[in-house]
Amino acid sequence: MKRFANLKRLGFFTRLLDEAPPAERYRFAAEQIVRAEKAGLDSAWIAQHHFHEREGGLPSPFTFLGYVAARTSRIRLGTGIVTLPLENAVRVAEDAAVLDLLCNGRFELGVGTGGNPSAFAAFGLDSAQRNEIFARNLEVVRTALVGKPLEGGDTIYPQRPQLDKRIWQATFSVAGGARAGKAGDGLLLSRTQPRTREAPKATLAEIQNPVIDAYLEALPKGAEPRIMASRSIFAADDHAEALRLADIGLRRALPQFMKGGHLPPGETLEEMITAFDTHVGDADHVIASLRADATLERVTDLVFQVHSVDAPHPQVLRSIDLVAEKVAPALGWTRTAPDVALAG
């Protein structure tokens, strides 16, 4: 039975996509993170999205995590991601520093280029320049966090230099993997990626393993790798019920999936589950599905989300419990004692 020897930490991830008004979305997500802490998970991550509620329901990640920090005590809280080109870099550093102090050093800063072209336009930016804006803003964030003078000579208050060692970069590309590795940052891998017309049947591992290779090759000598894979996982007590909910959620998500550059999947539920890179079913089926994902043999962190199944809130809570109790231990994860936190 395959167990992933490198898997050190388990996390829960949400893009806040519950079928509910905004206030309910935020309440549900907070309750899910509280449940993840009670289940013994090591971390919880939230995504930032501007404008498009079908893609993500949270434009203000630091505000939300400050609220969640007050309701939790042990679980680490991360952004997966802050869309850094759309943000003021000094304000990101200030908000991250304050949040990390308020949650007693539990914050992990995940950043990426992110965002739709229309989102860039609304901020008066050109999406074609996202990579250079990202690089420039990330350098400002680092400078600010460690207390170096910014343009004009000011330094931020409070300073939080230890956060410079808890930055994660999200990427789809080999070049992005090398960039994250060279910086000594963590690497964030997505739950799914578009396939090319030249390789429509490529596995997610075939796409992401070259990114990991580039990351490890560029990582400074002696630096400890931090490789996080996000995966779509929905576990239920009843396999048939899990598939029923998957059929509803994946078909509802299909138009947005196609807009993201993915090739058309087939009509059957099985074809859609494959196209969305989703692991769904009772615990035994989910375990078997994850064991077939070769990328997970190399990651230090596995973070799971129910998207795009997007089951009702009570079923999401139950899925968190099942992943923590049955799925992740079968893959090699060991629950962290309550008084032991993630390194950092």
Residue-level pLDDT at 261: 83
Residue 70's domain spans which residues?
Answer: 9-80+171-331
Question: Residue 289: which CATH number?
Answer: 3.20.20.30
Q: Per the domain annotation, does 122 fall within a domain?
A: no
Q: Per the domain annotation, does 241 fall within a domain?
A: yes
Q: Per the domain annotation, does 89 fall within a domain?
A: no
Q: Is 145 left (phi over 0), alpha (psi -120 to 50) or beta?
A: alpha
Whether the pLDDT of residue 195 is over 80: the answer is yes
Sign of CA dihedral 284, 191, 66, 313: negative
Whether the pLDDT of residue 1 is over 90: the answer is no
Whether the pLDDT of residue 41 is over 70: the answer is yes
Mean pLDDT for 309-325 is 98
Q: What is the pLDDT of residues 120-149, one digit of tens each?
A: 999 999 999 999 999 999 999 999 999 999
Q: Per the domain annotation, does 128 fall within a domain?
A: no
> Which residue has better confidence, 264 or 237?
237
Q: Per the domain annotation, does 94 fall within a domain?
A: no
pTM value is 0.95
Mean pLDDT for 178-207 is 96
Whether the pLDDT of residue 312 is over 50: the answer is yes
Whether the pLDDT of residue 6 is over 80: the answer is yes
Q: Per the domain annotation, does 149 fall within a domain?
A: no
Q: Per the domain annotation, does 63 fall within a domain?
A: yes
SS in 3 state form for 163-205? HHHHEEEECCCHHHHHHHHHHCCEEEECCCCCCCCCCCCCCHH
Whether the pLDDT of residue 344 is over 70: the answer is no
Number of domains making up the chain? 1
Query: Exposed e or buried b for every residue in 3-37, given b needs 16+ CB within 10 A?
Result: ebeebbbbbbbbbbbbeeeeeebbebbbebbbbbb
Q: Per the domain annotation, does 121 fall within a domain?
A: no
Whether the pLDDT of residue 51 is over 50: the answer is yes
Residue-level pLDDT at 338: 55
